[in-house]
């Protein structure tokens, strides 16, 4: 057991390490430390408690905001980061790695006690609790942001049923978020989680990616980069076609189940790997989930059918079935990149969280009159994040000449 002060110091060192790769968030925080654009704002944030999140919290507090933080997954909290935020920075953090479901929701209620003007959510659990249970605290909320695809879908469902009481900006939909965080962040960190948990060689193995959205594309491409033979399972014929033309084997779940060595679900869907597929799997197959919730692999049926369940390595649970096959599940079926590794690298979280910070600042400063539904990130913010990131990377864009700009706006010039 690491001593508490040592835990705090370790958290601080790791937060600083991540901060080195978050130049855009750092720059915003440094500018805002002078102008204090978030003075008076109370923010309740429900995010994975990681070194990258700590850097976002730092920028929001530098801007003058009061922030309360809770976890957006029971298994993703980095306890050293939570300790550092609490003890060294005095941030109210309600999170613990391995929290029970009851504790997890209690932590969300505790964060909401800040009486937020603004909410930052990753998966929409905080918004859900606020709407279902805490109508008094709901009164003061002006607006919120949502980080992830699953959260955006849930909030859109709430809006469709006229249940959403305040506007939410879908940070996930910014191109500087999903094209980088979902693709390269998930791509690398999921493979990292599988490798850290299992220490297995991916070269030559049959690696099944279920879902070919931005995250699935990233995972497939990184697994292929390590020499895996990748099969994609997809319900949307356009995405299945894209996977085929990207050079992957495409199959349905039953076909993939028979041949796969490693399975990763990245669909945002419900029980995409079910008993009928598990029945077909090889002895020793490894199952991991990279979707937001732990519902993509039907673990209840696996628990029910198994004659023995045992932890074979940290983060690896073996389910011994009556026919003596063992299926291994990583990170209890929760987000494998955060349960078995450290989540996305800071370089991509820099863009996601720069979007978060800029949207929060815009919502507080301008108080735009938005309907209580899900809204896109303003294009100017998306572009600004890309511009700042390129600048930080020391890269330049080629500006259009006035003639080129004019040409693109005109219709007169055709075949010459």
> Toward ligand ADE, which CB reaches closer, 47 or 99?
47
Number of residues that bind ligand ADE (CB under 6 A): 9
146 part of the interface to ligand ADE, by CB under 6 A: no
d(Cα 283, Cα 328) in Å, to the nearest integer? Answer: 9
Among 10, 53, 231, 265, the residue binding ligand ADE under the rule CB under 6 A is 53
Identify which range of 42-50, 87-95, 170-178, 203-211 contacts ligand ADE by CB under 6 A: 42-50
Least Å from the CB of residue 53 to ligand ADE: 5
Among 8, 21, 45, 48, the residue binding ligand ADE under the rule CB under 6 A is 48
> Toward ligand ADE, which CB reaches closer, 18 or 272?
18
344 part of the interface to ligand ADE, by CB under 6 A: yes
22 part of the interface to ligand ADE, by CB under 6 A: no
Least Å from the CB of residue 43 to ligand ADE: 16
Least Å from the CB of residue 44 to ligand ADE: 16
Instruction: Give the x/- contact pattern for ligand ADE in 348-367, rule: CB under 6 A.
Output: -x------------------
Identify which range of 44-52, 211-219, 325-333, 373-381 contacts ligand ADE by CB under 6 A: 44-52
389 part of the interface to ligand ADE, by CB under 6 A: no
343 part of the interface to ligand ADE, by CB under 6 A: yes
Binding site for ligand ADE (CB under 6 A): 47-48, 50, 52-53, 338, 343-344, 349
């Amino acid at each position: 057991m690491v001593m508490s002060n040592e835990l705090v110091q370790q958290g601080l060192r790791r937060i600083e390490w991540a901060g080195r790769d978050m130049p855009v968030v750092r720059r915003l925080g440094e500018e805002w430390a002078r102008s204090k654009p978030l003075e008076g704002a109370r923010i309740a944030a429900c995010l994975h408690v990681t070194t990258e999140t700590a850097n976002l919290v730092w920028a929001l507090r530098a801007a003058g905001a009061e922030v309360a933080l809770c976890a957006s997954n029971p298994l993703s909290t980095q306890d050293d980061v939570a300790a550092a935020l609490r003890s060294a920075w005095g941030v109210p953090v309600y999170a613990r790695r391995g929290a029970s479901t009851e504790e997890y929701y209690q932590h969300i209620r505790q964060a909401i006690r800040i009486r937020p003007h603004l909410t930052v959510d990753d998966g929409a659990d905080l918004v859900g609790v606020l709407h279902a249970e805490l109508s008094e605290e709901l009164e003061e909320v002006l607006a919120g942001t949502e980080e992830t695809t699953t959260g955006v879908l849930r909030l859109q469902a709430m809006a469709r049923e006229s249940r959403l009481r305040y506007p939410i900006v879908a940070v996930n939909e910014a191109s500087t978020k999903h094209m980088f965080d979902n693709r390269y962040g998930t791509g690398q960190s999921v493979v990292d989680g599988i490798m850290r948990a299992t220490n297995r060689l991916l070269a030559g193995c049959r690696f099944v990616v279920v879902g070919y959205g931005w995250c699935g594309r990233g995972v497939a491409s990184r697994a292929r980069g390590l020499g895996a033979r990748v099969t994609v399972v997809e319900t949307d014929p356009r995405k299945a076609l894209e996977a085929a033309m990207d050079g992957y084997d495409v199959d349905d779940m039953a076909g993939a189940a028979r041949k796969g060595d490693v399975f990763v679900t990245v669909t945002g869907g419900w029980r995409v790997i079910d008993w009928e597929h598990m029945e077909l799997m090889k002895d020793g197959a490894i199952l991991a989930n990279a979707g937001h919730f732990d519902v993509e692999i039907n673990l209840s049926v696996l628990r029910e059918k198994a004659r023995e369940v045992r932890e074979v390595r940290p983060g690896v649970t073996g389910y011994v079935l009556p026919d003596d096959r063992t299926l291994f599940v990583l990170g209890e079926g929760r987000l494998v990149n955060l349960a078995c590794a450290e989540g996305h690298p800071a370089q991509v979280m820099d863009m996601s969280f720069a979007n978060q910070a800029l949207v929060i600042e815009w919502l507080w400063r301008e108080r735009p009159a938005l309907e209580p539904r899900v809204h896109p990130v303003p294009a100017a913010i998306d572009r600004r994040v890309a511009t700042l990131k390129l600048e930080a990377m020391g890269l330049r864009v080629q500006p259009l000449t006035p003639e080129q700009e004019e040409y693109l706006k005109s219709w007169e010039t055709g075949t010459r």
